[in-house]
Structures are given as structure tokens and as C-alpha cells.
Amino acid sequence: MLGQRRKLILIAVMNLQQLFVMCLFLITLITTVSSLTQEQENDRITALPGQPAVEFSQFSGYVTVHKKHGRGLFYWLTEAVNPQDKPLVLWLNGGPGCSSIAYGASEEIGPFRIHKNASSLYLNKYSWNLEANILFLESPAGVGFSYTNTSTELRNSGDKRTARDALKFLKEWMTRFPQYKNRDFYISGESYAGHYVPQLAKKIHNYNKNHPGSFINLKGFIVGNAVTDNQYDNIGTVDYWWSHSIISDTAYKSIKSSCNFKSTKYTEKCDNAIDYAWNNEFGEIDQYSIYTPSCNKSSVNVTSTRLKNSLMRRRVSGYDPCIEKNAEKYFNRPEVQQAMHANNTGIAYKWTACSDELLENWKDSQFSMLPTYKKLIAAGYRIWVFSGDTDSVVPVTATRMSLSHLDLTVKTPWYPWYSKGQVAGWTEVYEGLTFATVRGAGHEVPLFQPKRAFLLFQRFLAGKNLPKS
């Protein structure tokens, strides 16, 4: 009888403890909600059409970065479940001219994937917002829902304005979301964001030195299959084509002897050598993922402009080679735009994954990012560069050749890293930079190898080397 009474008392105590924990949770939730400003509430996404139930908050909307010219950048914040305990990570896609919502958010690291019917969403179990608050930015103006009221700006955009506008966006956005002002902050991205990410990091670094009172707590950045240096990237790219049997010995020798990759302009002989290989030897492959099926003939529309000026355009890739079409259907739906507070200015063109107008009219492109890397390494930022090894557009050989010219001291020599008992790639740790390959991944690493990319991201945030076993 006495034992039964003790059991009843124990159950009662446990119930009280559970009630106490629940009350604390409700108090925290109420405090968090009540602390949101009206501007934040205006940007809150209640739910996207066809969205499964989630426990995290979402916000999206516009931040004006140039009032006179009418430039507004569109963002989408997918918070972590406990946002106050997690860092803030900005994600940028490249192109130049491609949407971070079409690719980063919808195919790679975001919490949702779009069903083929483009009417509903399903969860990505390797979403990066499990580890951080992820801020997707459509940049520069003219990409996706981001806009400019000065139409000529679509034909004279470039690296410098993009970096200036991104810094302006961050300052204004953190004024709207002051809870993130002093949060640990990282920048991430891929492809031509190999320019955007370090350029923005440098802008923030210089801004912090000159404005200590409005400090942005930048800790570092991580970029994948990143455009780094025109000369070394291009040499490494041609080497990849040859070493992976995409082009012949004859074409390889012709390109190497005809092209001066130190130059910003190539001769007609060089152009002809590249065009011959492209048109006669490549075949109908997905150049962003050479071992997976391509979408169809009409979708593979990459030209030798990529090699000539290192301006890349991602067309199709992934296990579903036509996956970007899902995004173009979904984000053009009026009810989706309404839920996301998007296109409220009535953009005169259809939402697309990439802007041809921006790509074809890019006005400035930094020839090499290596001097920027050197400055940021000297400043002590955490820098990781990763590379999917089945991408022929910004291949692993290009990235390795570019980074080798930083002449960094090796801390941890080259070794295989593991996930689920399998080699997930290879890595080498230098003084000031970590490089890693991701085995079996194309240009969009988190699309092809989501678990490996997620582990890579976890280790980056933790500042830990990739696992050796």
C-alpha cells in the first residue's frame, strides 16, 4: 500500500514537471511572438500553398537598397526551430543572374522541395535550417522577384554594384530584424557566388572597421564549385574535360596551344578550338553533372562563353534533370506570390530561375578572387571551399588549381572523409582555409549529395575537421 502511494506521488510530481516545462515553452513562445515588430509581422509567411506543417517560422519580402533608382531585393528567411540559439547564414546563388529561391531554397538547402505537379511541397530532411537560420537573397536586382525601376540597370549590372547592394540589404534587413544584429553570421553560396560571397565578406570587413557601432558579426564563409580565378579555373576546366574523356587528345592540345588564359579576351583561333570541342565532342550531356541524364536537347544550351569569360549559367542538373521547371511553375502561381509578399510592384516579366538579360550584359567581373581570399584569410575568418567532383563547368580541378596559388601552409594533409561508413570525399586543411571534395556530387552539391553536404555544413559551423572514419 505504501509502495502504491509513493508511485502515485511520483507520477504527480512528474506531471507537475511536465506542466512546468510546457508553461516555460508557452511563455517563451508568447515572448518571442510579442517581441516581433510590425514590419516583421508584415513579412511573416503564414503558410505556403501546399506546404506541410512545420515548427519553424518563415518571413519574406522586400528591402529597398536604392530609393532613387527603385532597386528592391527580395529575401526569404527560414528560421530554425529554436532561432535564438542558432547562427544566421546568408545563401547566394550565382549565374550571374540566377535565383537563390529557385536553386538554393527549392533544390538544395531549403526546408521544402516542390512536387512535379508544382501544386504542393514536401520536406527536405537535410535542410540546413536544422542547424541555422537561413536567409535566401535574390541578388542582384533583376533576379527572380528582386527588381529595379530603372530598366537600364538590367543591362549594366556587375560585381561591384552587387556587393554594394548586398551590404545595404544586410544593414537594412538587420534593422528590420534587430534580434539578428549581433548573431554569429556566415555567408554561403555556389558557382558565380564564388565572386559574390568573398566580395560581400570583404565589404562587411571594411564596413566593420569603419563603423564599429553598427557591427555585423561576420565569422566566415563557405562556397561550393566556386568561380575563383579566370586563368587557373579555365586551365583546370580544360584539364577536367580531357581527364574525364569528354574531349579528345587533339582538341585538348589545340585548346592548350591556342588559348592564352591570362588574357580577358581570346583570339579567334582559341574560340574555334573551344567551339569545335563543344559542338563535336561533348555530346548531349548535362555539363553540371556529367554522369546523370540531361533534361533534353533543347535544355542544354550552354555556350563556350563560359570558358571565354567565366560567366556561368546553371541550366539543368540533379536526379530529376528537369527539376528547375517545378520552381518556375510554382513561383509563378499568384497565390504563392501573395503568400510570400512577392511581386507586389507588378514586375513586367515572368519569374524565371535565371535572367538571360543580366548574364549577357554583365559589366564587371573580377579576374581573380585570390587577392580577396588572402586579405580575408589574414583577417582570421573561417573559410571553407568545397567541390562536387562530377561538375565539368566549375570542376574540382579548376578549384584546386586556383587555390594552390594561395600558397597556404598545410595543417592537416589530404585524407578521405566519411559519412555512413563510406568515403564522402577528400579534404585538406590549410592555415586559414579548408578545402573538401564531395564524392558523386555535381555543381549543386546539396542536390546530389544532401546528407554529405549537410554533414559538411555541420562541421563548418562547428569549426571541426571532417570525420576521418
Catalytic residues: 191, 391, 443
Beta bridge pairs of residue 64: 72
CA distance 467 to 465: 6
> Quick one: which H or E segment has residue 446?
helix 445-448
Taking the CA atoms of residue 450, residue 402, residue 139 and residue 316 in that order, the dihedral angle to the nearest 10 degrees is -50
DSSP letter for each residue of 219-276: EEEEEES---BHHHHHHHHHHHHHHTTSS-HHHHHHHHHH--TTSSS--HHHHHHHHH
Q: For residue 396, give the amino acid letter.
A: V
CA distance 204 to 384: 18
For residue 409, the 8-state DSSP code is P
CA distance 219 to 197: 13
Q: How far is CA 425 from CA 191, 319, 444, 447, in A?
A: 19, 19, 15, 16
Sign for the CA dihedral angle at 217, 220, 225, 229 comes to: positive
> Quick one: which H or E segment has residue 418?
strand 410-419
Q: For residue 382, give the amino acid letter.
A: R
Residue 96: asked if its preceding bond is cis (omega within 30°), the reply is yes
> Closest by alpha carbon to 248, among 238, 237, 258?
238
**287 CB-near residues (< 8 Å, 6+ apart):** 300, 302, 391, 392, 393
Residues 219 and 463 sit within 8 Å (Cβ to Cβ): no
Residues 90 and 135 sit within 8 Å (Cβ to Cβ): yes
Count of residues in the chain:
469
